[in-house]
A and B are shown apart, each in its own frame.
Chain A
Amino acid sequence: MNKIASKRDRANIVAYCFVILMTFIALSPFIYVVLTALKHPEQIYNAAEIIPSYITFDNFKNVLFHSRFLRYFANSVFITLVTMSISLVLAIMAAYGLTRYRIFGADTLKLTVLMTRMFPGILLCLPFYIIMRSLGLIDSYVGLIAMYCSFTLPFAIWNLCATFAQMPWELEEAALIDGCNRFTSFFRVIIHVAKPGIMVTALFSFMSNWDEYMYAMIFINTTDKKTLQVGMKDFIGQYSTDWGLLMAAVSLSLIPVFIFFAVVQKHLVTGLSAGAIKG
């Protein structure tokens, strides 16, 4: 037993070193972003000031109080959350249907759905514009959210199908025997056990919409309706970039993502390993 324990310790040390190294690599560019946000303009391109010797919070102040940042921020949060909720609900329904019922041509259907994401999206802008224009949804959130949903759904369905397919039938059967109907068993058991998968899907949906630029740029024109990614581009002019403001905006824009990450990763552990089967 002792031997195993010491072996495990050694493995843990290796794991620690690796995780710390990876965290460092993951964080260093981000730290650079934050440091740049704290710099005066003349420090940004100064090799001796990579770590600033004096700092300023002007960039943050300007971004928060003298730009449309908060407005764009709110727009993005709204669009992202709505898209995420809609695509999660639809994807959970679809994945449940595809894995728990015998659907004619299920595999082909899944593949077709995924196929739509394999054609370079940039070239589909024009046909999308034609559709949205005929629906009168140019410069509207409804149009953008609809498009975003159609972009994230294929991934969400696939991922959730994999999650649901892995869950043993016995779980549901046990719940059904306990007097649940399919609906309540779904909410009491499935959702709980599938949490890691659902969380990852939510995270994926959140991130891909939060990060999207091309469609938001082309389909939203009114200044007050712009999303954060499009709005942040304002700091990049044709001939010069306001790095301080841009990096301050980026640092601030990452806050909700971090919060979201922290919440999601906490729920990542409550799958089968947390004892749903045993319990």
Chain B
Amino acid sequence: MKKNLALLLILALLSTLFCFGAGAEGLTGEIVISVGSDWVDESKAQGKSFMDAVRAYEEANPGVKVTAQGASQQDIKESFQTAALAGGGPDVVIMDNSGHAIDLAAMGLLLPLNQFISDDELEATYQPGPLNSGKFEGVYYSVPWYLDCCGLYCNTDYLEACGLSIPETWEDLDNCLKVLKENGYGGIITYKSAYAFYSFFYQNECPVIDTSGEMPEVVIDNEAGTEAWNFICKLITEDNGLVESFKEATSWDKVYESFANGEATFLLGGDWCKSGINDVGTSVNYAITDMVMGKTRATVLGGWTWNINVNTKYPELAYDFCRYMSSPETYDILKATGKHSAQTSWDVPSGLSEENQDLVVLGEQFPYTMARPSIINEKTIDEIITNAILTVVYGQANAEDSLAAMAAELRANIAANYDI
């Protein structure tokens, strides 16, 4: 068994070395992969490049059959969870790196990667942010695929009209919002979740929830966290910094629409917002830039990962396929879609196509981008923070009370999911 594994490792290594090498020879079996519907729709470049890569894999490994099943992006996790809990489900599934993999790993539904590859090797191959988004109890579960960083989209028409330049620091942002408000322009729009707001905590060197120890520890109300929270609250209350549409932005469409129609001056979001804004059709001129800087440079990370079902009959094959899909061999897929690979060797400007070069600035944030806390039920954590923001938006609580209430709720939640 060990011998086989070693052989497999060597072969896997070899295949990474030779870009279009024969792959892990001798692998046979049939696997089913579950991906977003866009990836299997071959009428568009995105699906075409993806399915080409899948076919290339099958050709390189004659005994292998890969069946790709498209599912709605929003429902992938739910349907996988139900199927895997009942002992079935696809062998490989892609997952948003916002905590889903951690939840599934905690449920015991994912295969840990340490049986295929050492942690050192993983850490050498992939960026730490996306890798950590799939780390549960010190073990890696997800093979990172692509990633994105939250950036700042600015309506330059409005900024010019007010004689402002693009904000670079917290003070700049605060000042911008004040002046914009005086001149009757709107402030910030972003998705109604904690996603973009994590950045402000990270910029003040507060990880929100410290997951480095054995037990996750809520640090959102430490000195740095309080400072960041007060800053967020100041933007909301004093500067009237969140536009009305934020309250109903439960889909990204709403975010693009608000920005493209000129309701908001700033948009906080990742690379996908560019095509979103352009699809809405807009006459505003805007610039894409990195997030403002606090004490330090930081922003929040997103992206997707490859995960292996614990019920799979062909674990080696499943892993090898995940490895292949995240490897330089399939960079064409990323180029076709304007995504950044999570590989450490990825070169940002050359990885992006001609028309996406304005997104390079977001890619350059890689060195200081951080994943959301890798913690069980991250979605609930997100909900608690979002609700705290909303109580401030509605004027139901001040900064101090909302922070205390939020911190208490976060602690109670973690206690319920961790201690014995």
A positions within 8 Å CB-CB of B: 41-47, 66-67, 125-126, 129-130, 133, 138, 217-218, 221-223, 230, 233-234, 236-241, 243
- Other-chain contact of A130, B36, B86, B96 (Cβ < 8 Å): B86
In the assembled complex, B160 has its CB within 8 A of some CB on chain A: no
Q: How far is the CA of A43 from the CA of B41 in the complex (A)?
A: 25
Q: How far is the CA of A240 from the CA of B260 in the complex (A)?
A: 14
Q: Which residues of B contact A241 (CB under 8 A)?
A: 251, 253
Known: A233-B75, A234-B70. A218 touches B83 (CB 8 A): yes
Number of A-B contacts (CB under 8 A): 84
Q: How far is the CA of A67 from the CA of B272 in the complex (A)?
A: 23
Q: Which residues of B contact A239 (CB under 8 A)?
A: 252, 272-273, 276
- Other-chain contact of B272, A66, A138, A240 (Cβ < 8 Å): A240
Q: Are A45 and B260 in contact (CB under 8 A)?
A: yes
In chain B, what residue has the closest Cβ to A243?
A: B253
- Other-chain contact of A240, B41, B72, B87, B275 (Cβ < 8 Å): B275
Q: Are A129 and B43 in contact (CB under 8 A)?
A: no
Task: Give the Cβ gap from A139 to chain B, nearest Cβ, in Å.
Answer: 9
Q: Are A217 and B75 in contact (CB under 8 A)?
A: yes
* Interface residues of chain A: helix, strand, loop or mixed (majority): helix
Task: Give the Cβ gap from A38 to chain B, nearest Cβ, in Å.
Answer: 16
Q: Which residues of B contact A133 (CB under 8 A)?
A: 86-88
In chain A, what residue has the closest Cβ to B37?
A: A234
Q: Which residues of A contact B261 (CB under 8 A)?
A: 45-47
Q: Are B72 and A42 in contact (CB under 8 A)?
A: no
Task: Give the Cβ gap from B303 to chain A, nearest Cβ, in Å.
Answer: 11
Known: A133-B88, A223-B70, A238-B36. 18 other contacts (CB 8 A): A46-B261, A66-B43, A126-B82, A126-B85, A129-B88, A138-B83, A217-B72, A221-B34, A223-B40, A233-B75, A234-B72, A238-B73, A239-B252, A239-B272, A239-B273, A240-B252, A240-B253, A240-B256
Q: How far is the CA of A236 from the CA of B253 in the complex (A)?
A: 10
Q: Which residues of A contact B38 (CB under 8 A)?
A: 234, 237
Task: Give the Cβ gap from A15 to chain B, nearest Cβ, in Å.
Answer: 38
- Other-chain contact of A221, B69, B74, B251, B281 (Cβ < 8 Å): B69
Task: Please list 29 pairs of residues, one from A and one from B, whose beta carbons are closer than 8 Å in the complex, sorted by A's number.
Answer: A43-B281, A46-B261, A66-B43, A125-B82, A126-B85, A126-B86, A130-B86, A130-B87, A133-B87, A138-B83, A217-B75, A218-B78, A218-B83, A221-B90, A223-B40, A233-B37, A233-B72, A233-B74, A233-B75, A234-B37, A234-B38, A237-B38, A237-B73, A238-B96, A238-B252, A239-B272, A239-B273, A240-B252, A240-B279
In chain B, what residue has the closest Cβ to A130?
A: B86
- Other-chain contact of A41, B70, B86, B279 (Cβ < 8 Å): B279
In the assembled complex, B54 has its CB within 8 A of some CB on chain A: no
Q: How far is the CA of A44 from the CA of B279 in the complex (A)?
A: 10
The 7 A-B residue pairs with the shortest CB-CB distance in the complex, in nearest-first order:
A42-B281, A238-B73, A233-B72, A129-B86, A234-B37, A239-B272, A45-B257
In the assembled complex, B71 has its CB within 8 A of some CB on chain A: yes
Task: Give the Cβ gap from A239 to chain B, nearest Cβ, in Å.
Answer: 4
Quick one: which of B32, B40, B85, B279 has the most chain A CB within 10 A? Answer: B279
Q: Are A218 and B82 in contact (CB under 8 A)?
A: yes
- Other-chain contact of A45, B72, B75, B87, B280 (Cβ < 8 Å): B280
Task: Give the Cβ gap from B119 to chain A, nearest Cβ, in Å.
Answer: 30
Task: Give the Cβ gap from B54 to chain A, nearest Cβ, in Å.
Answer: 13
In the assembled complex, B79 has its CB within 8 A of some CB on chain A: yes
Q: How far is the CA of A44 from the CA of B71 in the complex (A)?
A: 26
Task: Give the Cβ gap from B44 to chain A, nearest Cβ, in Å.
Answer: 10
In chain A, what residue has the closest Cβ to B280?
A: A45
Q: Are A42 and B88 in contact (CB under 8 A)?
A: no
Task: Give the Cβ gap from A256 to chain B, nearest Cβ, in Å.
Answer: 23
Interface residues of B in 24-62 (CB under 8 A from A): 32, 34, 36-38, 40-41, 43
Task: Give the Cβ gap from A36 to chain B, nearest Cβ, in Å.
Answer: 13
Q: How far is the CA of A241 from the CA of B96 in the complex (A)?
A: 18
Task: Give the Cβ gap from A45 to chain B, nearest Cβ, in Å.
Answer: 5
Q: Which residues of A contact B272 (CB under 8 A)?
A: 239-240
- Other-chain contact of A218, B73, B79, B276 (Cβ < 8 Å): B79
Q: Which residues of B contact A243 (CB under 8 A)?
A: 253
Task: Give the Cβ gap from B35 to chain A, nearest Cβ, in Å.
Answer: 11
Q: How far is the CA of A236 from the CA of B74 in the complex (A)?
A: 9
Q: How far is the CA of A126 from the CA of B275 in the complex (A)?
A: 38
Q: How far is the CA of A236 from the CA of B85 in the complex (A)?
A: 27
Q: Which residues of B contact A42 (CB under 8 A)?
A: 280-281
Q: Which residues of B contact A236 (CB under 8 A)?
A: 72, 74
Q: Which residues of A contact B273 (CB under 8 A)?
A: 239
Q: How far is the CA of A230 from the CA of B70 in the complex (A)?
A: 11
- Other-chain contact of B281, A45, A47, A222, A238 (Cβ < 8 Å): A45
Task: Give the Cβ gap from A129 to chain B, nearest Cβ, in Å.
Answer: 4
Q: Which residues of A contact B41 (CB under 8 A)?
A: 234
Q: Which residues of B contact A129 (CB under 8 A)?
A: 82-83, 85-86, 88
Q: Which residues of B contact A217 (CB under 8 A)?
A: 71-72, 75, 79
Q: Are A67 and B82 in contact (CB under 8 A)?
A: no
Interface residues of B in 228-277 (CB under 8 A from A): 251-253, 256-257, 260-261, 272-273, 275-276
Q: How far is the CA of A253 from the CA of B279 in the complex (A)?
A: 25
Q: How far is the CA of A230 from the CA of B69 in the complex (A)?
A: 13
Q: Which residues of A contact B279 (CB under 8 A)?
A: 41, 240
Contact with A along B73-111 (1 / 0, CB 8 A): 111001100110111101000001000000000000000
Q: Are B79 and A238 in contact (CB under 8 A)?
A: no
Q: Which residues of B contact A46 (CB under 8 A)?
A: 261, 281
